[in-house]
Amino acid sequence: MRCFDSALHHKDQNLLNSVLVGRSSVDWVFIGSPNTHHPRQSIKALQAGKNVFCEKPLGTDLSECRKVRNAVRESGRTFAFGLVLRYSPHYQKIREVVQSGALGRLISFEFNETLDFNLGGYIFGNWRRHRAVAGPYLLEKCCHDLDLANWILSSRPSRVASFGGLDFFVPSEEKNIARVGENIEGLPAYQTLADPHRVNPFRGEADIVNNQVAILEYENGAHGTFHSNANAGIPERRFYFCGSEGSLLGDACSGIIEWKRIGYETPMERFETPCDLHACGDDIMASGLRRHPIA
């Protein structure tokens, strides 16, 4: 496998064809461009006979995503998708427990993604703050979590309601940069993560929400609530499942999973997994791609 780097803002719109797809030495094309470009670039690479790894989300328009699906089927090539948390030992274990029936029939659950304030500043300081190129906040930032819920439950939502707002990364809250101060490297709060195209996250004229809640009813009868906030003092990525026979609590930020059967003096089961930004799923996914045979 050979990798090539290209600038995100390259002026040549045919760069994918002329530099990557047009080279017979290229086995895989990795797509990490802004989200609205994913379908077009994926289809071009598949039509050129390349295996494709596309960063999440697949796109921002359902009809365009269906075109990618059709192109994958027609090409016969391998198409990998960046929902990396499915590969995480943490979430693999949660799904194993839920699917085993240890909790009985799943009745309700809650899950969240509350972001460290500097990660929130990173998002609202780059292209992800613009809906036209990133899509809505839940799609860009939280599609991992929603995908995990569907995957763990082996079901899909039948009804959804959601509310959110842009209530923090606005000019009136810029005072928080000075309030929090600099980190040990002398970088200002909300701007500590490197990005050559970064702007002040409080003056970026964002048009996505920075906090959102949702309620979901699933086809299998389970009910769930989701909460995300891009400015948190206590970052979490947590699931809490309640079944007819037990409950499970898992937080990817700590790597700890606990579950307990309902009853008197029933033991608390505890499982610890490695924890990092993607709950150690990145390396596992990458190793799977490296082992993929090249046609």
pLDDT in tens, 202-227: 999 999 999 999 999 999 999 999 99
**Looking at 23-37, 38-52, 60-74, 276-290, which range is the least confident one?**
276-290
How far apart CA 106 and CA 155 sit, in angstroms, is: 11
pTM of the model: 0.88
Identify the pLDDT of residue 14: 63
Provide CB contacts within 8 A for 16, sequence distance 6+.
29, 41, 44, 45
Task: Tell me the C-alpha distance between 28 and 46, whole Å.
Answer: 10
Report residue 103's pLDDT band, with 50, 70 and 90 as the boundaries. very high
| 91, burial (CB in 10 Å: exposed 0-12, middle 13-18, buried 19+) | buried
> 97 falls in which pLDDT band (50, 70, 90)?
very high
Provide the pLDDT confidence category of residue 11 given band limits of 50, 70 and 90.
Answer: very low
3-state secondary structure 35-88: HHHHHHHHHHHHHCCCEEEECCCCCCCHHHHHHHHHHHHHHCCCEEECCHHHHC
pLDDT of residue 25: 78
Residue 38 pLDDT exceeds 50: yes
Q: Do the Cβ atoms of 51 and 78 come closer than 8 Å?
A: yes
Output the pLDDT for position 295: 41
Helix-, strand-, coil-residue percentages of the chain, each rounded to 5: 35, 25, 40
Phi and psi, residue 173, nearest 5°: -105, 5
Q: What percent of the chain has pLDDT over 90?
A: 78
Q: What is the mean pLDDT of residues 267-289?
A: 74
- Taken in order of first residue, the domains within the chain and their CATH numbers are 15-82 (3.40.50.720), 85-281 (3.30.360.10)
Residues of the chain with pLDDT > 70, as a percent, come to 85
Q: Identify the pLDDT of residue 7.
A: 35
Measured distance CA(116)–CA(136) in Å, rounded: 19
Q: Which of 116, 92, 121 is nearest to 250 (CA)?
A: 92
Q: Grade residue 228 by pLDDT with cuts at 50, 70 and 90.
A: very high
Query: In the chain, which ranges are continuous DSSP H helix?
Result: 15, 38-47, 62-75, 89-100, 117-123, 131-134, 137-153, 175-180, 281-290
Is residue 281 over pLDDT 60? no
Across the range 232-258, mean pLDDT stands at 96
Residue 22: per-residue pLDDT? 65
Q: What pLDDT sits at residue 294?
A: 44
Give the strand order in the sheet containing 223-232. Answer: 157-165, 211-218, 223-232, 106-116, 238-243, 246-251, 256-261, 268-272
Strand partners, 57: none
| Residue range 37-47: mean pLDDT, rounded | 94
DSSP 182: B
CA torsion, ordered 6, 7, 10, 14, to nearest 10 deg? 20
Question: Which pLDDT band holds residue 19 (cuts at 50, 70, 90)?
Answer: low
24: pLDDT confidence band, cut at 50, 70 and 90?
Answer: confident
Residues with Cβ within 8 Å of 214's Cβ and at least 6 positions away in sequence, in order, are 138, 160, 161, 162, 163, 225, 226
pLDDT band at 193 (very low <50, low <70, confident <90, very high): very high
Per-residue pLDDT band for 23 (boundaries 50, 70, 90) equals confident
6 CB contacts (<8 Å, ≥6 apart)?
A: 15, 19, 20
* For residues 265-279, average pLDDT: 82
Structure confidence at residue 171 (pLDDT):
98
pLDDT mean across residues, the chain: 90
59 CB-side CA count, 13 A: 16
